[in-house]
Amino acid sequence: MYSTTIDIRVRYGETDQMGYLYYGNYALYYEVGRTDAIRQLGFTYRELEEQGVIMPVAELQVKYLRPAYYDDVITVKTILKELPPNHKIQFHSELYNQAGELLNVGTVTLAFIDAKSKKRMNMPDILREKLVPYFENNANESRS
């Protein structure tokens, strides 16, 4: 398993009339978590795109448990529970407030697409090489 966290402060312009983080902005927080997770592996989405790989969202699932409010500091936890076996990758997100309460969970499924042909492709080797050690260690620990 691979996971990362990043903190985001809820800005006024991201809230609705009730002072809640607007429901549509949760997907943006997931994206911040995803891009940071890739960056923590040592490269960026931009580098994947420069290598001819695009990653459109294929599916988004969201469950709202508690609201986030203006000026709250939200911890976005991004988790890869499995190494992708094919052309899709699934990021799980958990959002927590500063009291550690779980506010929201979501799953974003992206597809690996060849930018030129627009056809699906398997996970790029550069990304697989960075992720494999996280899953080998977990498999070895579970075998102990």
Q: Could you list the active site residues?
A: 16
- Best CA proximity match to 28, nearest among 83, 82, 80, 68: 68
